[in-house]
Structure 1
Amino acid sequence: MKNFNQKWLYLFVLSLIWGSSFILIKKALIGLTPYQLGALRTIITGLFLFVVGFKSLKNIQKSDWKWVVVSGFLGSFIPAFLFAIAETEIDSAVASMLNSLTPLNTILFGAAIFKLTSTKRQVLGVVIGFLGTSMLILKGADLNPHQNYLYAGFVLLATVCYAINVNVIKRYLQHVKPLAIATGNYAAIFFPAMIILCFSGFFSDATFSHPDFIMSMVYITTLAFFGTALAKVLFNRLIQMSTAVFASSVTYIITIVALFWGVLDGESFSIIQVLACVIILIGVYLSQKRV
C-alpha cells in the first residue's frame, strides 16, 4: 500500500513540474535561440546534479555505463533540443498534447526492440492514439496557418527518444539508484552541450544585450532545476517502483497542466484539438490495459 501511494504521489508531482516545462521553454525562447536553450538546460541541470550526486557516480558499475550514456542522450540531451526547436513554430500547449504519445511509443518500442508482448487492446490504443495525433496536427495547421506544423515532427521524435529511454532504464538500469542514473546521464552529455553552446553564438554582445536575456535565463534556470534535475531523479525512481508504461503515463496530467498555462498565456486552440487530445489520452489508457 505504501509503494502504491508513493508511485501516485511521484506521478502527480512530476505532472505538475513537467506540465509547467512547456511554457517555460516558450518564455525562455524569447531571449535565446533553441540551440542555446537546449545547451543551457543541459549544462545548468548538470551543475545542479553534480553538486548533489557526484559521489553517487562511483556506484555505477563499468558494465552499466554504456546504458547510462544511452539513457543520457535519449532521455535528456536530444529531447532538450527537439522541444526547443519545435516551440519556435508550435504552441506550448500543442507540444504538450503531442508529448502524450510517449506511453504509446513505450508500448511500440517495448515490443519492437525489447521483445515485450502487447495485447490486442494495447494495439488498439496505439492506433487510436495516432488517430488523435493526426487530428491534432491537421487542425492545428488549419487554425494557425502562420505556424509551421511540420515542426510537430520534432516533438514526435522526442517522444520516441523518451519511450526508448524508459525501456532502457527499466530493462538495464533497474538496480542503479535514481540519483546515480541522473548524474551519470549528465556526466555523459555535459561536454557535448558545452560544445554546442560555444558554437551557438551565446557568448556574443547580441545575446547579452537582448532586452529579454535576463528573464530568459531565469526561465531556463527554473526549467533546469525543477523541470529537469529534480524531475529526472523523481522519474527514474518512479520507473523503478512501477512499470515503464505507468511511469510514462505521467503525460496524462502533464497535458492538463500545460493546457492551463497555455490558456493563461493567450494561446488559441479549437474544440477539435481538445477532442483530439482526449482521443490520444483514451489511446494511452487502452494501451496500458493488459487484458
Structure 2
Amino acid sequence: MTRTAGNRRSDHEAAHRPLPLTAGGHDVGRYGWDAPAPPQAVVRPVAHPLRAPGGALLTGTHPADHPWHSGLGLALPDVNGVNLWGGPTYVRDHGYRPGELGTVREAAPARQDGDTLGHDLLWCDGSGRELLHETRRIRVGAGPGGAWSLEWSSELTTAGDRAVALGSPGSNGRTGAGYGGFFWRLPPLPADRVTVFTARQAGEEAVNGSRADWLALAVDDGAASWTAVLAGTDPRTRQDPWFVRVAEYAGIGSALAWSAPVRLEPGRRLPITLRLVVADGVRDRAGAEALLAR
C-alpha cells in the first residue's frame, strides 16, 4: 500500500533517546530521531539542536514555512520516485504535487565509541520495501579558541540487485532547486544579518548552484555572532554544487543531483562526506580558510 502525506507514519515516530555530541568535553548538541514530527515529514535521524561555542542555536526544526525540515543531516527528495525528504513532490511540467512518502528505519541502533557515532539505516518506500542502505559515521572534535568541527560521512548502497535513481526537484525541471543529499536547516535568522560566501563568490544568488571547495556562513548578531564553514571531504562530494537559501529561509545543502539524476548501480558505493567547522565571531574569507586549515 502506498503511503501519502495524509496517512504515512514512520515506524520510528516513538521517541528515541538522543545521543550527546561533545567536543573537548563540551556539549555542542544532540543526535537522534526527529520524532514526533508533522504528518508531512519523513522522520529520520538528524543532529539537532547544535550550538556554537558561545551557545547560539545553529539548527531549526519543523518551521512553519517547511514543516518537514529538521536539523542537520541527510534528506533525499527522489529515490526511484519516492519522496524521502518530506512535503510535496516536484513533478516535471506540473510543479509540486502530493506524492509517495517513504520511511527511514534502523538496520542497527546508533552507537558511540569515544568521539565517533555510527548508525546503519534503511531508506524505504511507502510500503516498507528497502531502496537504499546507509552506513553513517559522525565525528565531533575540538579546535583552537573554542571552535569545534563535525565530520559527517554517509555511504549509500542499493538494497537489491537493481540500480536506483537519485533525483531532486532540479533534476525534475525546477531551475535552481536541486536540493537533496546533505542538508542543514538553520533557525530563523534575519536575512540582513546573514552572509554566505565561498573563496570567489558571495551572496545567495551567486553561491546557489556554484561549485566551490568550501562554503562559509557568517551570522552578525552582536555577542551571539558566529561563523560556520562547510567543505566536502571526498572527491565525489567536492563536485556537488552548493544549495543556498537566505532570503526565504536559512538553509544550506550539498546538492547530490543538482540538475540530473544520479544512477547508483548495485555493488557501487556512493559517499556523501563533509566537514563542518563552527567558531564564534564573524570571519572573512581568510578567517574561514584558517578555520578549515586548523
Same fold (TM over 0.5): no
TM-score bin (small chain): under 0.3
TM-score between the two structures when normalised by the length of structure 1? 0.27
Task: Name whichever structure is richer in helix by fraction.
Answer: 1
Which has a greater percent of strand?
2
